[in-house]
Structure 1
């Protein structure tokens, strides 16, 4: 007799089957790629018919291009940030300025013309449109003055712009596939690609790679469907304007000469009597004295003549140290900037200077766009007059916003002020110019400025730091080389060499506190000069004449051979 299947067994079997089906369903769901595709308008974030998506160097930007009368316009701030930073909006005069190597032109909103030094130029379209409270530049006009390519695509509407041509890698798709919004098969599809399509590789991970297409889409694709990356060898003929530079065929050895009165000019021969190898002198002759751009001058033709007879060029220094001025006020005024430049050029011609040294300090991020515009405009004047144009910068750690990349293009030399690591207002004692500080300043600057344009300035001074016992505040006093040596001797300070800072350190504990000096001497200067030589910089500068001793000059000279 056949045994009957009990209801309990049947229930168990059914439960098992349900569980299996559930597990299988979860497995299928987990490993089945998403077929959801992001709509093109959604991907490019388009909300109006007059909007066009914007992709710059394979990155989708939040900003949108506007279509007006069939032409494409990009907001000026977007142009400046992503495409060409040399367009500068003068909010006081309500004009757009653009600087070229030897001239500057102006564009008035809603005009089909722009004014250059050679006259008025005309177009058959409005160059600068005002839309609401913003100003938009015609994209084709921007292209005339920019090393760029752009392509317009439809459905969805987008403009794909390219301004970078180096360090790009390409991959080839090995089989039909999808680019997804994120890495993972459950992420939505951005666009589909076919076998043999070429993509730009942006980032390579373990299983997925971030890529972009030539028509503006970016996302992630399975690494296994891509070929090995190869360098993009496409030849590109640059259309960027050529910025010519003055480059000396010798290493620069520039000494700063602090001149505070006309009588100070008479000290030149005395100050450089022992200065072996100095071929450039920079006297502190000029200062901005009001917000209209008036400058004071201590320039002297006799000084220049004497320097030339001693084989030295003269690069007159202009500073912004006058407390009666406000950097933002005069730098943001096109009239004030032009006034400064005109006076400098007149002074240079009158006394026969060879160059201008720009020493504007404490520039804030708010002031930075106006400062770099002044740098561009001053470079035009110097280039047209054949004057060497050099700029003094703090180390990049303190001044990332100074736009050294632009400085390295428009100026002849960029001088790193490799000192004031610890200064009068510092809350802790330390070196004025430790080796690590100098090294970092050089390395960071070389990321933006070519070595043949970089000069590193070294200090001939140090500080004695006094930390009083009890609740007293830390104080310091500037000492020259001989002054420091005498101070150490008079106070019986113990001295040892510190490899990390590349200096001798002297200290003593007195009744009232601890006295410490990070010494600048022949040995510390030699270590800094080694960095200049190893990095093949354009030369060295020294602050300042009068703080050194004669024995340091041969040390400097041997590293500039």
Structure 2
């Protein structure tokens, strides 16, 4: 089964270390080499040729992701200057001997829908067919046509992209699952009724949980690799929610330490059983494979216990 993972905010040595933890399971790694300037042009960061070569020695495709990091102004600047930006991406791929680009522009609206699709068309046109163009799209289990979800024209994006990476996470706006199995399945079903081949869909998994402090609406993302130590430190209680196939931990911080003010917290996260439930959906609907955000946040044991056994 095809597997890709994003890599965000790290040094070159971190890329290699985390890739080596996967035991050869990954096909594609998408590091954060491509950023957007205020004028909509391309900004390269950390694109070290030695790191790229080291990843190639590990038989990986290197497909950097281009992101506006939720900044709507940057996203719209990119679309306004999309002809130039698409050319710059093409040039960077050629100069650095990269395998393509993953386009991860978020927080636009239905007003940007056509321009965004046209940008993907331009990127595809400027890159050799053997190179990959993929697009990260918002999960849309309820068929929303306005706001962020409305900016993604699944059907037409799939005509230009090798695959769409469905960001099936960040489900809950108050204390609740990061990606319940029912919500994820509805997201897959929505994508499939957009006249898209299952082999053009990659299901995105979160390698993090979300934590809410009682009385506050904002959540904090917590890497799965840190979850158990946090719960243990604060004597938290864990339950497995069968319906969502997720775990919920409740703990109380009695003395303010570091980033944790005093209070009661609810942390929703995933374990191996949760991940397997999502993998079964990929198999059920015959999707292309799996994506994940982001490499280095996971418990490294999952590469052996879950992903190596697909």
Interval of TM-score (by shorter of Structure 1 and Structure 2): 0.7 to 0.9
Distance 1:441 1:487 in 2: 31
TM norm structure 2: 0.88
What displacement does 1:494 show?
Answer: 1.7
Larger strand proportion of the pair? 1
Larger helix proportion of the pair? 2
For each residue in 1:52-72, what CA deviation from the matched residue of structure 2 results, as whole angstroms up to 9, or x when unmatched? xxxxxxxxxxxxxxxxxxxxx
1:476 aligns with 219
Distance 1:395 1:540 in 2: 14
3-state SS of paired residue (1:500): coil
CA separation of 1:437/1:515 partners in 2, compared to 1, >3 Å: closer, same or farther?
same
Work out whether residues 288 and 325 of structure 1, in 8 Å CA contact, stay in contact via their aligned partners in 2: no
What displacement does 1:477 show?
Answer: 2.4
Provide the aligned C-alpha RMSD in A. 2.0
1:271 aligns with 18
What displacement does 1:500 show?
Answer: 1.0
Distance 1:324 1:403 in 2: 18
What displacement does 1:358 show?
Answer: 0.4
- Residue number among 168, 171, 175 corresponding to 1:429 in the alignment: 175
Distance 2:188 2:98 in 1: 28
What displacement does 1:338 show?
Answer: 1.7
* 2:98 equivalent to 1:347: no
Alignment map for 1:254-293 (pairs within 5 Å): 254-259=4-9, 264-276=11-23, 277-293=25-41
2:192 aligns with 446
Tell me how many residue pairs correspond in the alignment.
294
For each residue in 1:429-453, what CA deviation from the matched residue of structure 2 results, as whole angstroms up to 9, or x when unmatched? 1121111221111111111221011
TM norm structure 1: 0.50
What displacement does 1:379 show?
Answer: 1.4
Distance 1:377 1:386 in 2: 16
3-state SS of paired residue (1:254): strand
1:198 aligns with none
Distance 2:77 2:101 in 1: 22
1:296 aligns with 44
Work out whether residues 37 and 74 of structure 2, in 8 Å CA contact, stay in contact via their aligned partners in 1: no
* 2:128 equivalent to 1:377: no
* 2:264 equivalent to 1:519: no
Tell which structure's C-alpha radius of gyration is larger: 1
* 2:131 equivalent to 1:387: yes
CA separation of 1:304/1:377 partners in 2, compared to 1, >3 Å: closer, same or farther?
same
Distance 2:51 2:91 in 1: 17
- Residue number among 225, 238, 248 corresponding to 1:505 in the alignment: 248
Distance 1:302 1:438 in 2: 38
Q: List runs of 5+ in structure 1 lacking aligned partners.
A: 1-250
CA separation of 1:322/1:419 partners in 2, compared to 1, >3 Å: closer, same or farther?
closer
For each residue in 1:14-67, what CA deviation from the matched residue of structure 2 results, as whole angstroms up to 9, or x when unmatched? xxxxxxxxxxxxxxxxxxxxxxxxxxxxxxxxxxxxxxxxxxxxxxxxxxxxxx
| Structure 1 range deviating more: 265-274 or 511-520 | 511-520
CA separation of 1:373/1:478 partners in 2, compared to 1, >3 Å: closer, same or farther?
same
Work out whether residues 493 and 508 of structure 1, in 8 Å CA contact, stay in contact via their aligned partners in 2: yes
1:553 aligns with 303
2:232 aligns with 489
What displacement does 1:475 show?
Answer: 4.3
Distance 1:327 1:478 in 2: 23
Alignment map for 1:18-417 (pairs within 5 Å): 251-259=1-9, 264-276=11-23, 277-321=25-69, 325-331=73-79, 333=80, 336-382=81-127, 384=128, 386-396=130-140, 397=142, 399-417=149-167
1:540 aligns with 290
Work out whether residues 70 and 105 of structure 2, in 8 Å CA contact, stay in contact via their aligned partners in 1: no
Distance 1:326 1:349 in 2: 24
Report which structure shows greater RCO (CA 8 Å, sep ≥6): 2
Q: List runs of 5+ in structure 2 lacking aligned partners.
A: 143-147, 255-261
Distance 2:189 2:209 in 1: 23
